[in-house]
Structure 1
Amino acid sequence: MADLVITPENVIAGADAGTETGAAGETIIAGQQLYRSSATKKLMKADNNAASVEARTAIGTALNGGALDQPIKFQKSGDVNVGAILTPGATYFLSDTPGGICPAADLGAGEYVQLIGIAKSASVLTLDYKYTGVSN
């Protein structure tokens, strides 16, 4: 398997969505996993094999895209249509592709495990961000 193939225009927050906003620190696409840089306070793409713990710790799913310094709304909790085909009941994790989401089978050696959520249906992911600090 591979990272989820996300169609950005299909990323839609659920009715129970917990959201926040911030400025983009780089180009971001809807559906990508984000962290907030402590140095710039801007949103960046999270990556499970990044050098810093901060960059490996996703805090939300981008609900819209934008270029540097544009406003980004992101979802931290609740249900989200991630714009991809999911396996109901499966768990999904932060990928080693910046901003990506992958199934558990795609977590490689040396990658840090961060749960993003559990598939509620073939299109809806219930977000449950948990950074373990454990390298696979």
Structure 2
Amino acid sequence: MADLTITAANVVAGNTATIARGIAAATITAGQILYLDPTSGKYGLADTDSATAAVRTVAGVALHAASANQPIALVTAGPVTIGAAILAGVFYYASGTAGGICPVADVAAGDYPSVIGYGLSTTVLQVKIDNSGVVLA
């Protein structure tokens, strides 16, 4: 398996989604997962196998594209049409590719697993972030 192939134009927050807003630290595409940099206060691309704990701590899913220093909105909880084919009932995690989302089957040794959420349907991801902070042996 591989990271979700997300069509950015199809990423849409559900009516009950919780949305945070901030400033992008780098170029971001809709559907990528983000972390909040505690030093700059900006959102960057989360990565499950980063050497930096903050980068491994997922904050949410980007709703639109942004370049560095532009405004960004992200879903922190609730439903989001993710713009990719997913499976209902399957949990999805932060990937080893910066900003990527992968199915549970792709979580590997050396990763710090962070649950992004689970499939509510074949198109809607229920964002329910859980950052484990523990390395997978």
Q: Is the pair's TM-score, using the shorter chain for normalization, greater than 0.5? A: yes
Q: How many residues align?
A: 136
- The CA deviation at 1:7 is 0.3
Q: Could you list the runs of 5+ residues in structure 1 that have no partner in the other structure?
A: none
Deviations along 1:72-123, one digit per CA (max 9) or x if unpaired, are 0111011000100001100000000000000011011101110000100000
Which residue in 2 is equivalent to 1:125? 125
Q: Could you list the runs of 5+ residues in structure 2 that have no partner in the other structure?
A: none
Which residue in 1 is equivalent to 2:63? 63
Q: What RMSD in Å do the two structures reach over aligned CA positions?
A: 0.6
**CA distance in 2: counterparts of 1:10 and 1:2, whole angstroms:** 19
Deviations along 1:18-58, one digit per CA (max 9) or x if unpaired, are 00111110000000000111111111000000111110011
**CA distance in 1: counterparts of 2:86 and 2:58, whole angstroms:** 19
Q: Does 1:31 align with 2:31?
A: yes
| Counterpart residue identity of residue 21, structure 1 | R
In the TM superposition, 1:1-136 aligns within 5 A as 1-136=1-136
> TM-score, normalized by length of structure 2?
0.97
| Counterpart residue identity of residue 86, structure 2 | L
SS at match of 1:133: coil
| Counterpart residue identity of residue 97, structure 1 | T
| Counterpart residue identity of residue 16, structure 2 | D
> TM-score, normalized by length of structure 1?
0.98
